[in-house]
Amino acid sequence: MIDLYSIPDEQLTYTVRYLRDEAKRRGYPQFLKAYDVNGPSYLLVTRPDGKELKLYGSIPPTTSKFAADTADNKWLSYQLLQDVPGVKQPATVLVREDESITEQFLKEHSPIVVKPVDSAHGNGITTGVATLPEATAAIARAGQYCRTPGIILQQQLPLNLPELRIICIDYQYTVAMARIPATVTGDGERTLAQLIDYENEHLRAPVYRSNLSFIDKPAALKFLGTRASTEIPAKGEQVRVLSICNVGKGGTMEDFTSQIPAEQRELSERIARHLELPVIGVDFYGDYVIEVNAAPALYQPVQTAGATSCITKFLDYLETL
């Protein structure tokens, strides 16, 4: 076991770092991690009253395996969310051996998104798929990231819709963050590809270790096409370089906690209760629910109180168990 109280900040993901710091502030005598520092987040936490809790990142001991697997499997969660009144989801099918399913889905919904059923951080996702050869290649790529066999095809929604991550803890609305896709800032001299290289080298850090993660350059080059090597943004001009809005791929967040209407807050809580997830991240794209997460990052990279409010609420919840 590793005593996380003795580990330097820069060796920890920001959620574990701030969770550890708040636990220490509250007088928790033990905060341990199994495996190595960079391994899976199996945590053994001892409260001041002596009760030991076993966590997996932000997954509390009250989350069942079925519930965790539901969130982890995009096809399973898609099916279960169809039973929740008020939930809109993009058209989705599971890829099967019959190629005609893919061909028919393309005819009805092109362009589409191809996703592994159970990957995270945007890995293995291909957007803008418009032809059968493109779909075949995207399906093969997605298969490289599947832990559970299965790939889904999903209707691609317009790129200009806002994306939100809403987090509920103890089945209660806690925070909402607008997810902003990775952008680079022009200097009037470098191309978009050169700006990505510059930012990755000088301004960004490995995923979830700082407020600004590396931009996934291969995905950015695919999204930008010829623009990557030909477009030179003006000084100060910000340019979107990825189709997906994911902090792990270099995106950012803006605190929208106070701007979410009551209906959307209540819908998020209904989803949490229906899926039996006391801690959940619900991803909205416009009015559509596109994904749920049983282990959302609790630290939010924003300059507001919302940055650590989930850390506080999570420990408050653990103290009720």
pTM of the model: 0.84
Whole-angstrom Cα distance, residue 281 to residue 227? 34
Q: What is the pLDDT along the chain (321 residues), one digit of tens a residue?
A: 999 999 999 889 889 999 999 999 999 999 999 988 888 889 999 999 999 999 999 999 999 999 999 999 999 999 999 999 999 999 999 997 777 899 999 999 999 999 999 877 678 888 889 999 999 999 999 989 888 888 999 999 988 888 999 999 999 999 999 988 888 999 999 999 999 999 999 888 777 666 777 898 988 998 899 999 999 999 999 999 987 777 778 888 899 999 999 999 999 999 999 999 999 999 999 999 999 999 999 999 898 999 999 999 999 999 999
The pLDDT of residue 208 is 66
What structural domains and CATH numbers belong to the chain? 2-57 (no CATH), 91-156 (3.30.1490.20), 182-244 (no CATH)
Q: Which long-range contacts (CB under 8 A, 24 or more apart) does 87-92 make?
A: 87/267, 87/271, 87/289, 88/287, 88/288, 88/289, 89/288, 89/289, 89/290, 90/154, 90/155, 90/156, 90/157, 90/285, 90/288, 90/290, 91/154, 91/155, 92/152, 92/153, 92/154, 92/155
Contact 279, 314 (CB under 8 A): yes
